[in-house]
Chain A
Amino acid sequence: MISDVFQSYNILFLLEGLKITLEIGVGSIICSVIFGTVLGVSCHLKIPVLGQISTIYIDIIRNLPCLLLVLVVRFLTPLPPVWSGIAAMSIFTAATMAEVVRGGLNAIPKGQYEAAHSQGMNHYQIMRYIVLPQAYRNIIPPMMSEFTTIIKDSSFVWAVGTEELTGKGMILIGKYSETGQLFAIFGTVALIYFILNYSLSLLARWEYRRLRV
């Protein structure tokens, strides 16, 4: 019976997975935004050494599959499961975030820098008070779509046995054998991801419209 699937203990079981997905998701979002901003700004300002390292980092990571990083961090570092998930996702997404930040910075007219310079601001102040706030406004929509990608890609950590939402769903699949039950479980897991991501993309679209006005 399909209704067997929707017992409260199964729902709770999935919600436990959702909690881990959210932990990994939120942790990775915070880390990759910070790390990505540092990389993007270093590239943009062509800071000696740091700028080159950032470019190399972006070129390497952007051309690797996410799953490989998940495996590497899980099996070659002593980090516990959730933290290794956060680390892998952050390493991976920071490279894309850096590109997003760099694109946003490139869109700021040169006059903004010059005007700030003429007011006696130093490099740090110009970045902190003039350029970054304007750039962030432009890059919020593409950044939010990266958040969606993080939530989706976090399902790769099931490959190393971390029981997030996908993992919990797959464990349930193992317990039920009817076709209807299988569809019900997949449908529920997909729906949870969909609601999470669709609200994020609606938010991104809403931000986009608000920023254009």
Chain B
Amino acid sequence: MAEVFADYKWAALFDDRGIFLEGLVTTLEVAVFALILALVLGVIFGIAGVFPKTWVRIINRIYVEFFQNTPLVIQAIFLYHALPHLHIMIPVTAIGILGVGIYSGAYMSEVFRSGINAVPRGQLESGLSQGFGYWQAMWHIVLPQARRTILPALGNQAIAIVKNTSVLAMIAGGDLMYVSDSWSGMNMYYGPAYLTTGIIYWVICFTMTKYVKRLEQKGAVG
């Protein structure tokens, strides 16, 4: 065990800390933009899931069931291979944002759908009866009330997004996991590389977990 974490391996890691830092920046970048994309998709498809028109709800089901029931790895690798075939050339980080964002969007839309469903139907109806349009009633009356149940669940999805960005390692995405995997694959210094990577992911996700727990408690009280 001591050999796995030998001093000279740590020294090598310290020398190459810049590479790891770049990886971390890429991970954060992808996570933030994927989160934004997932939120947008989540709101749109979440409302689609409770929409009065059947065909709109069917679109919601197809989106959610497809992306929740196939692996993110397949989706990401597919984008990586298929986009160039369709003559769409985008950087690999953008592919990561698209892949993780669309995948998490399916989970987010379920969060929004069940959050909206938890608000009594009478709220939407009384809004409509007061002369609100469907979208106005949804935006000003239903969604604010759904906030309390939705927010903690969204927080959990945000944590999942940070962890899921590691899929970029499988398409040479230059993220933290990729850097760690390729750096240690070259020199076999697995111990320090994985431990450092693990601590970084852990600190990010644990901080977020604590924050989500606070949201949950606030929601339960307020």
Contacts and interface: CB of A to CB of B under 8 A. Distances in A.
A68 B66 contact: no
B194 A62 contact: no
Given A63-B202, A71-B194, A158-B170, A193 B74 contact: yes
Nearest to B163: A65
Interface string A184-210: 001001100110011001000000000
Interface stretch (B8-16, B80-88, B124-132): B80-88
Contacts of B167: 67
Interface string A33-46: 00000000000000
A155 B74 contact: yes
Contact of A63 (B78, B197, B206): B206
Contact of B181 (A148, A159, A169, A186): A159
A140 interface: no
Interface string B133-166: 0000000000000000000000000010011101
A192 B197 CA distance: 33
Interface in B65-82: 65-66, 68-74, 77-78, 81-82
B208 to A, nearest CB: 8
Interface residues of B, number: 38
B4 interface: yes
Contact of A189 (B74, B190, B198, B205): B74
B71 A68 contact: no
B183 to A, nearest CB: 12
Interface residues of A, number: 37
Contact of A186 (B82, B191, B201, B202): B82
A75 interface: yes
22 contacts: A63-B163, A63-B202, A63-B206, A65-B163, A68-B166, A72-B190, A76-B4, A148-B69, A152-B72, A155-B71, A158-B73, A166-B74, A166-B77, A179-B85, A179-B86, A182-B81, A186-B78, A194-B70, A197-B69, A198-B65, A198-B69, A201-B65
Chain A to chain B: the 9 pairs with minimum beta-carbon distance, closest first: A63-B205, A197-B69, A155-B73, A155-B71, A65-B166, A65-B163, A152-B71, A179-B85, A67-B166
